[in-house]
Structure formats: structure tokens, C-alpha cells
Amino acid sequence: MFRQSLIRAVVVTTALGALSAPAVAQPTIKVFGREVQIHGSIQQGAIKSDGNNFLTMQSNDGSVAMTDGAVNVSSQIAKKFRVGAQVYVRNIGQLGKFRPQLDWAYADYKFADFLGIRAGKVKTALGLYNDTQDMEFLYTWALLPQAVYPLDLRSVTISHVGGDVYGRFGLTGAGAISYTLYAGTIPDDPKGGYLYGIQDNGSEFLTPLKQKVFGGDVRWAWHGVTVGYSYLRSIAKVKVHTTAILPIPLDIRADVKPWTRQAFYAEYQGAKLRVSAEYRKENRFQGYTALQPLPPPIDAMFAQAGAPLDFSAAGWFVAASYRISDLIELGVYHDQYVPDTKKDAVTPTNLIRETVAAVRFDLTSNWNLKVEFHAVKGYGDTSYPHGFYRRVNPTFTNKTNMLVLRTGFNF
């Protein structure tokens, strides 16, 4: 079974890549006399695992349900004014289901190097890679470190609807400092991973989850070295039908305030070597209010079981990659995610730790193939999943090994 699934995955990923490679892309067109750039990418992946199924796939049987792609357009309307937009679609297990999504759409005016503004649906500057995670072709990895950049939560982390102020200050003889400040809302995703975790836990959202956010990012760069810090703070309200608090159906309002995320990161990028690390800390205070009168003693039981919760989670990774030729790049990373930092990270329900080794083949200038092995310990809190879901795992095991293949074509 393993061999048949592996051969099928290799055939599918390689065939799709080969079909893509000869494609002729038209990078620019003229619209009303303005040059419009058109770019895009398409990726096809396959996963074979033992232990637990991953990302809502039946990966233990070998799955090729890992397709995503994007097309974007942009144009320099005037010397300091630029607009652009990107549509993204994915079908990864039960995530996305080929539902088109407006990844980002913005208008950008740059007054000077030290001051610019963007408005619309804008990529969120958070950590090293959050605002570039839609560019698979930039990375060695088939999957970015999932402790910090979980693929199932991509749609509710990559961008916000609102505005940014940004700029860059040169430091004589010491590189430059770049900053971004932003505010707005993060839209809901009805086909997102976090919703499936909520549903698997016996709850159903009655209203969309929208986060009101503000935050910022500051980074210093010099001779290939980047060091930075990001902060995001949000509040949210959502009405929920649930049996997770008491063993009876309840309609409640969940208030999440505040919800903070911080990222500390560093990277070195040389001609052939890249080394990076990031630490992500998350705190969330969550309270509950019943939306209907509760008779005694249910009211007392709800007051006790539905007491406000103070969540604290943390994730980190260290990674290195080295290009040994124009064709081949090698990479490794180690990462860890702890859903509840108030408890020891010793049980599988409070830990996801993985060691990853990858090989990237650049078959042409715009077609790559990645082969990646993951050794994973733990599966984390399945009420708020990072990759492991009850709906495809009747029982969980403590260890999971995965072979991931992914081919991508970009233009």
C-alpha cells in the first residue's frame, strides 16, 4: 500500500509539473495605456504518513488532495502610486474546497522611502514569512515550519482589511530599519481549519468570526542579516451553538479580548546559505455569555464551567538551507508548538515537535520539485488544531512520520 501510494504521488506531482513547465506566460499587458503585470503560481502536492492523518487528508493511505494556486495583477498607476490584487484557491484535504478567495487587493502610495500608505485587503506583517507565505517558490520547504506558519490557518493570518503606514530609514554604514503599522479587521474563512476544529469539538459558529486588529512590525537589515519584532493585538466576538461547555446544547457569545501575538525573529541570507529562527508567543483571554436564561442549577454549572479562560501558546523554529548547485538545494528545520505554556510540554496533547529534512530540485527557472521528510512527535490540542483533526483521526498516536512531495510552477 505504501509503495503504491508513493508511486502514484510521484507520478501525479511530476506529471503536473512537466505539463506546467512548457507553459508560456505573458508577464505584462496594456490596459488603458498602463502596463499591467500578471503573475501566478500553481502547486500540487502529495503526502504519505503513518501515525496520524494530516491536514484533514487521508494521508495514511497516501493523498494527492493538496492543490493550490494564485493569480495576481498589479500596475504602477503613477510614479508613487501602485495598485494590485491576488485571487487564491486551494483544495487541501477538506480545506478550501476550491473556493476562490481574495488574498489581497490594495492601493499603495509612497510619499518617500520613509513614509508610504496602503489600503484595502493588505498582507499582514507578522514574523519572517507571514506576508510571503503565498510565494511557495521562495522557499526550500514543501511546508513552512508548521509550529509558526500552520497551513490550515493560512487564510486567517495572511492579510487584513484596513490600512498600513510603512517606511524605511537608512542607517549610514549600518544597514536600514523598516517599519509597518496597521489596523483593520481579519475576515472569517468558512472553509478554514480552525472552524473544523471548533466543529469537531461540538460547536458551530452562528455568526462569522471577525477580528478587529492593530499591530506593527519593525526590522533591521544589514549585509544579509535581518532581525525583527512583530506585534498584533485583536478583539473578536462570535455567537456559538455548543455542547463543549456543558453536555446540553447552549447558544453563547464568546468574547476574545485581548488576543495578542508576538514574533521575535532573525535570518541570515547569503549567496548559498540561509539560516533563520523565529519565536512566536500567543495570549488569548476568552469569556462566555449565555444568550438565553438558564434555570437553576444550570446557571451555576455554566458560571463554573464557562468561567473566563486565559490561553497562552508558543511556537518556534530554527532552519537552515544550502544551495549546492543550480539544480539542488538542501534544508533542515526543527520546530515546536505548545498549545498551553502553563503546562509542561510532555504529553502529546500539549506538544507538536518535528524534525524536517528537505531536498529542492529547480528543474527549470520557474518549475521546482520538493521532497521532504517529517518526523513528528505529539498532535497538540485538537480543539484548536495545528494540522491534526479528529474528523480524520478516530484515535491519535504519539508519533507521525510523513513524506511530502510538492511541485510548483510560477510565472
pLDDT tens-digit map of 117-170: 999 999 999 999 999 988 899 999 999 999 999 999 888 899 999 999 999 999
pLDDT for 242-254, tens place per residue? Answer: 998 898 999 999 9
Question: Would you place residue 191 in the very low, low, confident or very high pLDDT band (cuts 50, 70, 90)?
Answer: confident
Q: Across the chain, what does the average pLDDT equal?
A: 91
Which pLDDT tens digit goes with each residue over 61-84?
Answer: 999 999 999 999 999 999 999 999
For residue 235, give the nearest of 286, 306, 188, 193 by alpha carbon: 286
Residue 56 phi/psi, 5-degree rounding, is: 65, 10
CATH numbers and ranges of domains, the chain: 2-410 (2.40.160.10)
H-helix or E-strand spanning residue 9: helix 2-20
CA 122 to chain centre: 15
Alpha-carbon dihedral angle through residues 338, 155, 189, 194, given to the nearest 10 degrees: -10
**DSSP assigned state of 246:** S
Give how far Cα 251 sits from Cα of 15, 285, 382, Å: 49, 20, 22
Answer whether 190's CB lies under 8 Å from 149's CB. no
CA atoms of 381 and 338, how far apart (whole Å)? 9
DSSP 207: S
Query: Measured between alpha carbons, how far is 361 from 367 in angstroms, rounded to an integer?
Result: 9
pTM of the model: 0.91
Predicted pLDDT at 291: 92
* Spatial distance between the Cα atoms of 136 and 41, rounded to a whole number of angstroms: 8
CB 227 within 8 A of CB 263: no
Q: How far is residue 163's CA from residue 120's CA, in Å, rounded to a whole number?
A: 6
Residue 241 · residue 249 · CB < 8 Å: yes
What the block records as the C-alpha cell of 247 is 453536555
- Contact in structure between 211 and 238 (CB atoms under 8 Å): no
Copy the grid coordinates of residue 52: 496520524
In the block, residue with C-alpha cell 529547480: 362
C-alpha cell recorded at residue 304: 463554573
Q: Please name the residues in contact with 401: beta carbons below 8 A apart, sequence gap of 6 or more.
A: 49, 50, 51, 373, 374, 375, 376
How far, in Å, CA of 410 to CA of 138, rounded?
A: 10
pLDDT digits 0-9 by tens, 4-33:
545 554 555 455 555 544 544 457 777 767
- Distance between CA 339 and CA 315 in Å, rounded? 8
